[in-house]
Structure 1
C-alpha cells in the first residue's frame, strides 16, 4: 500500500498528528510498536497545563491551540474523555507564567494559589476516541515497529516521527531522556476538584485528579534518567501521604492500582523539524514533549501539518 504519510508512534502525539494530517487531506497510516493503551499516554494524569516542557517561546501557542480543541471536545465528555474541571495550582501566580496565561478564561489568583477551570482528560477514553476518529477518515493504525526510517520511507513520501522516548535510539538523539512518573489510583472519597503543588527543583510532586468511574489519581514523581517501570511501594506510600496532607480523606481511600510512565523529555525541548530522506522523501520530527504531551498535542500537530504542507505534499 502506498501512502502520502506514515506517522510512526501511537501515543497521543502520534494519533493526534495522524488525525490532523488526515483531516487536512493526506492519506495517512499510523505505525505503532505497541497498542495505544500500552503507551506512556495511557497512564498520564492528563491535566492540561504546560508542565516541564520547552521551548518557552513556542509552548504557549501550542498549548492554547490544544486548549481550544479540548474546550470543544468537553461538550461530549463520555465520548471524548475530556472534561472541564476546576482546581488550584498551589503556590503559583500569573507572574510566573508566560503570556499564554492571559488568554485563559477564568484564571485568577487566590490565597491558596492559582485557580482555574482546565481540561482534565480520561486518557483511555480519549485514546479510543482518537482511534475511532482516525478510522472514520480512513486512517489505519498498524501494530508495527521500526529500527530505522528507511522502512516507512519506502512506502510513503512523508514520514512523521512521533516515537517519544524511542527517538533516543531511533534518530538517534542523546538529548532524549526519561523522566519517571509514578501514580497511585484510589477510590475517590468525594473529591471533585484537582490540585497540584509541583516544585520544578524536586523529584517529588503532589497532585490529585478526579476521574470518572469513581477514581482519583494521586501523584507523583519526576525522576530524571530513571528507566524503571516497576511501582515502588515506598514511593506510593509517600505519594498518598503528601496528598492526604492536603485532603485528609485520601488517607483512608482504597488503593485500586499503581501506574508508572516515562515522560519523553528532551534537553532543548520539543523538536519539530523537517529533514530530507533519500529518494526525495521527507522526515518530520515531533518528539520531546516531556510531561506535556497532552497539553501541546494539537498545537504540535498543526505545526507538523504546516511543515508537510510547505513541502507541497
Structure 2
C-alpha cells in the first residue's frame, strides 16, 4: 500500500484514483479544476479513439474501457448507455484498426455500423466522483507549480494540458480546440461520426436530454470562447447529415481544449507515473489506462 497523489480530476484522473483506491492504495486528488469544469465535461464522450496516435497499447486500453463501460451501462445511475450508429467512411482505404477493440462491427456501403458506449458526461462525472469519494479519496482544489515538495510515495500526473509543465517541460503537449453545440433531442437514438466530412469534423451524438453536435479539431488553438461563426458551420454540417435536427433549439454550447501529444504518455519515471496526452480519447482509454497505472504503481 502506497500514498498516491493523483493530479487532475477529469475522466482520466478520477478513473485512475478509483482504480488505485480499489487496489488498496491511500489516494488523494489535487486538481485546479473540478470535474464539471474540465474538458471532460464538454466532450460528446462517445467511445472512439480520436486525436490520439493509435498503437497496440492504445487499442488494448480502448478494448478494456469498452468492456468496462458496457458493464457500467447496466446501471442507469452511471450515465453510460450503449447506442448504435454509423462511422461514416469517405475514402477508399480507411484505418479500421479501432474495430479490433470492439466485439462486433458491420461494414456497410457508407461506413461502419456498430454499438458504442455513450457517456452522459454530467451524470457520469458526478457518479464517478461519488464512487471515488466513497472509497475514501479526498479531493483538494489547488494549482501545483511543481512536484518537488510533495511527500506522497507516488504521484500520478493526469492533469491534461498542464501535465507537461509539471513534468519539467514536456513541450510535446498541445491543445486541440473542440467546440460543441447541444440541441434539443427530437427523438434521435443513433449517433453518426464523420471525421472525413469535406467541410470539417462532424458528429451528432444523441443523449437522453439533448444532442451533442460538433465539432472542431483546431490544433494549437487556446481559445476557450464560443465562436458564433464556428457554431453556425457546425449546425449546418450536422443538419446536413441529420435533417431531423432542423428547427431544434440550442440548449447550450461549450468549448474544450483536448490535451494532445504526438503519443499519449503512459510510463513511470521514478516515483512519478505519467498518464496524459489522450487528445479526444480520454473517456475511450480511461479504464484501460487506469489499470495500467495501477500496474506501474506496483513496480
Q: Would the TM-score normalized by the shorter structure come out above 0.5? A: yes
Match of 1:271 among 248, 265, 270: 265
**1:97 alignment counterpart:** 96
Question: Could you report, residue by residue, the CA deviation over 1:135-194 in whole angstroms, capped at 9, with x for unpaired residues?
Answer: 11111122122000123x32x110100011012322221100000000011111221110
Give, in angstroms, the shift of residue 101 of structure 1.
2.0
Q: TM-score normalized by structure 1? A: 0.91
After TM superposition, the structure 1 = structure 2 runs for residues 67-146 of structure 1, keeping only pairs within 5 Å, are 67-77=66-76, 79-91=77-89, 96-98=95-97, 101-146=99-144
**1:34 alignment counterpart:** 33
**1:250 alignment counterpart:** 245
Answer whether contact 1:241 1:251 (CA < 8 A) is retained. Answer: no
Question: Could you report, residue by residue, the CA deviation over 1:256-296 in whole angstroms, capped at 9, with x for unpaired residues?
Answer: 111100000002x11111112xxxxx011101000101000
Q: TM-score normalized by structure 2? A: 0.95
Question: Could you report, residue by residue, the CA deviation over 1:102-137 in whole angstroms, capped at 9, with x for unpaired residues?
Answer: 352231011221001100000111111111111111
Answer whether contact 2:88 2:110 (CA < 8 A) is retained. Answer: yes
Match of 2:162 among 166, 174, 182: 166
RMSD: 1.8
Unaligned runs of 5+ in 1: 277-281
Find the aligned partners of 1:233 and 1:24 in 2 and give their Cα distance: 46
Q: How many equivalent pairs are there?
A: 297
1:192 equivalent in alignment to 2:181? no
Give the secondary-structure state (helix, strand or coil) at the position aligned to 1:10: coil
Question: Could you report, residue by residue, the CA deviation over 1:36-72 in whole angstroms, capped at 9, with x for unpaired residues?
Answer: 1000001100000111212522111000000110010
Answer whether contact 2:199 2:237 (CA < 8 A) is retained. Answer: no
Are residues 298 and 207 of structure 1, via their aligned partners in 2, closer, same or farther at CA, if it must alter by over 3 Å? same
Question: Could you report, residue by residue, the CA deviation over 1:189-221 in whole angstroms, capped at 9, with x for unpaired residues?
Answer: 221110010039x882111111112x0110000
